[in-house]
Amino acid sequence: MKKGQTEIVGLVIIVLLISMGFLFMVSFFFGREDAQNVFVRQGLAISTLEAVIKANPSETNILTKENGCTYGQETIPPLSEFIEACITDDQSFFSNLCSYNDICEFTTLQINKLLNKTIQRYWQKDYYFRVLNDQEGNNLDLIVSTLPLNAVICPGNQDSSGPYHLETKSGSIITLELNICS
């Protein structure tokens, strides 16, 4: 091989190595940004789920004496207790259901109002929230969704809170999950 050909082959190899290094660097920086965005969106799902179960239904102005609604105790419990009453079918949770057919209807309405005020209004995202009544996630008991026909699969990507286990007063475990469609 002549000296000129050797130099050209060496130059081509150097250009290929530089190109591969540049492509690796670009893919590393773009992949890192996506991971940060996913982390932020999953944090949104987790913190929203925790806020929902700690929320008080009286804050939505539905459970008030002016609306003909009464609750059998002095203080109104958080939504987590309403979810538990729905799962255990405890219809005595209210002394008056404010014209709602059952506790699950009332609980679904409350969760839907809270999620619509936050995820849909401010983030403009669809979501689904589901409650499973065993640790394996087999028995679906309650679902709140903005997806068609209460679907539990987002049409594109989704960010999940992951399973959130909540212990009931009877000692059983119910699983909550909030998924936000990207």
Per-residue pLDDT tens over the stretch 55-77: 877 655 555 555 556 555 556 77
Whether the CB-CB separation of 144 and 108 falls below 8 Å is answered with yes
DSSP H helical segments within 92-133, as ranges?
103-115, 121-123
- Residue 140 pLDDT: 62
How far apart are the C-alpha atoms of 53 and 142, rounded to whole Å?
14
- Cα distances from 46 to residues 96, 126, 161, 167, in angstroms, run 32, 15, 4, 17
Provide the number of structural domains found in the chain: 1
Residue 129 CA to residue 146 CA, distance in Å, equals 9
Beta partners for residue 128, in sequence order: 145, 179
Cα–Cα separations (whole angstroms), residue 57 to 97, 110, 113, 114, 127: 13, 7, 10, 10, 20
**Residue 148 belongs to domain spanning:** 3-181
Please, which residues have CB within 8 angstroms of residue 135's CB and are 6 or more apart in sequence? 165, 173, 175
Global confidence as pTM: 0.69
Distance of CA 131 to the CA centre of its chain: 11
- Position 58 scores a pLDDT of 65
> What is the pLDDT, as a whole number, of residue 120?
83
What is the pLDDT, as a whole number, of residue 148? 66
pLDDT at 63: 57
As a whole number of angstroms, the distance between CA 28 and CA 122 comes to 31
Phi-psi map region of 164: left, alpha, beta (phi>0 left; psi -120 to 50 alpha): beta
In tens digits, what is the pLDDT along the chain, a chain of 182 residues?
A: 677 778 788 888 888 889 888 887 777 766 555 666 777 778 888 888 888 888 877 655 555 555 556 555 556 778 888 888 888 777 666 655 566 667 788 888 888 888 888 888 888 888 888 888 765 555 666 677 777 665 667 777 888 888 888 888 878 888 888 888 87
Whole-number pLDDT of residue 60: 56
Q: Measured between alpha carbons, how far is residue 97 from residues 11, 66, 70, 115, 132 in Å?
A: 80, 13, 8, 22, 23
